[in-house]
C-alpha cells in the first residue's frame, strides 16, 4: 500500500467512516489493534488485509482500498474474531457492510474473490425462489456463472447415491413471503438487483 496522509484520508472519507458505523452498528472506533481477531481468524492467511487491519482501515477512511480488497469476500462469517475481541466488535458485520458498499459502488471483487460473489448470488437466487436452499440449483447456477459447467461434477453421483443431494427443489410453505422480503430489501436498497 502507498504511504497515506492519515488526516487527509480521515477528513476526505468522514462520511464513509460514519456510514460503516451506522450500517454495521459496530463501535469500530473502539478498536485498539490488539490483534486477537487476526490471531484467531481461520481465513486471515488468504486475506490481503487481515481483520485487524480492515478495522484500522475503516478508522482511517481507506474506502477505495477496502472496497476492492479480497478480505471482505473471504470472510467466512464464523465470528471467531468477535468471541476474541475485547471490544465486542462484530467484524463479520463490518465485512458484510463493506461487501454491500462494494456492490453499490459497482466495484468488482478482485481475482478469485469474484467467485465468492457469484456463489452468494446463486445461493440467494434459490432461496428467493423456493424459500430455502436448493443445493443442485445453486451448484448449477454457480457453475454456469463461473463458466465452469462441469466443476465438481465427479462429486455429484456419489452424493446422490448417499442421499445428500435431491434432484428437485422443495419449497417451504409461504415461499412468496420470502420472495417479498427480498423485494422489500431491494426497495430499501434503492431498486438494485
Ligand atoms: S468472521 Fe470473518 S474475519 Fe472474523 S474470524 Fe471469521 S472469517 Fe475471520
Ligand atoms: S480484537 Fe477487537 S480490538 Fe483487537 S484488533 Fe481486533 S477488532 Fe480491534
pLDDT in tens, 113-154: 899 989 999 999 999 999 998 999 999 999 999 888 888 888
**Ligand 2 pocket mutation, candidates 26, 32, 79, criterion most atoms within 8 A of CB:** 32
Query: Ligand 2 centre from 33 Cα, in Å?
Result: 5
Per-residue pLDDT at 191: 57
pLDDT in tens, 2-60: 788 888 889 999 999 999 999 999 999 999 999 999 999 999 999 999 999 999 999 99
Of the candidates 13, 9, 3, the one whose C-alpha atom is nearest the C-alpha of residue 101 is: 13
Query: Ligand 1 centre from 71 Cα, in Å?
Result: 9
pLDDT in tens, 167-176: 888 888 888 9
Residue 164 above 70 pLDDT?
Answer: yes
Per-residue pLDDT at 193: 47
Tell me if 92 sits within 8 A of 81, measured CB to CB: yes
Tell me if 37 sits within 8 A of 84, measured CB to CB: yes
Q: How far apart are CA 167 and CA 21, in angstroms?
A: 43
pLDDT in tens, 77-111: 999 999 999 999 999 999 999 999 998 999 988 88
**pTM of structure:** 0.84
Per-residue pLDDT at 171: 85
Q: Which residues contact 16 (CB under 8 A, 6 or more apart)?
A: 61, 63
Query: Ligand 1 centre from 42 Cα, in Å?
Result: 7
Ligand 2 atom nearest 34 alpha carbon: 4
φ, ψ for residue 90, nearest 5 deg:
-85, 90
Per-residue pLDDT at 155: 87
Query: Ligand 2 centre from 57 Cα, in Å?
Result: 12
Tell me if 7 sits within 8 A of 59, measured CB to CB: no
Considering the four listed CATH numbers 2.30.29, 1.10.1060, 1.10.287, 1.20.120, the one that applies to the domain covering 6-105 is: 1.10.1060
Q: Where are the domains of the chain?
A: 6-105, 112-189
Q: What is the DSSP letter of 167?
A: S
Report the residue count for the chain: 193
**Ligand 2 pocket mutation, candidates 28, 60, 86, 90, criterion most atoms within 8 A of CB:** 86
Tell me if 41 sits within 8 A of 92, measured CB to CB: no
Q: Which residues line ligand 1 (CB under 6 A)?
A: 40-41, 43, 51, 75-81, 91-92, 95
Q: How far apart are CA 52 and CA 60, in angstroms?
A: 12
Amino acid at each position: 500500500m502507498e504511504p497515506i496522509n492519515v488526516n487527509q484520508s480521515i477528513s476526505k472519507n468522514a462520511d464513509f467512516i460514519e456510514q460503516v458505523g451506522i450500517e454495521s452498528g459496530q463501535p469500530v472506533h473502539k478498536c485498539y489493534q490488539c490483534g486477537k481477531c487476526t490471531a484467531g481468524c481461520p481465513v486471515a492467511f488468504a486475506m490481503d488485509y487481515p481483520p485487524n487491519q480492515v478495522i484500522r482501515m475503516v478508522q482511517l477512511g481507506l474506502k477505495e482500498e477496502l472496497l476492492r480488497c479480497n478480505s471482505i469476500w473471504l470472510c467466512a462469517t464464523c465470528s471467531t474474531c468477535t468471541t476474541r475481541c475485547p471490544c465486542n466488535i462484530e467484524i463479520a458485520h463490518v465485512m458484510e457492510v463493506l461487501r454491500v458498499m462494494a456492490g453499490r459502488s459497482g466495484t468488482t471483487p478482485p481475482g478469485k474473490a469474484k467467485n465468492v460473489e457469484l456463489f452468494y448470488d446463486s445461493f440467494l437466487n434459490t432461496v428467493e425462489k423456493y424459500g430455502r436452499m436448493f443445493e443442485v440449483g445453486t451448484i448449477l447456477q454457480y457453475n454456469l456463472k463461473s463458466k465452469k459447467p462441469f466443476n465438481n461434477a465427479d462429486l455429484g453421483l456419489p452424493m446422490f447415491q448417499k442421499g445428500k443431494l435431491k434432484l428437485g427443489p422443495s419449497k417451504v410453505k409461504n415461499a412468496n413471503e420470502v420472495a417479498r422480503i427480498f423485494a422489500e430489501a431491494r426497495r430499501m436498497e434503492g431498486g438494485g438487483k
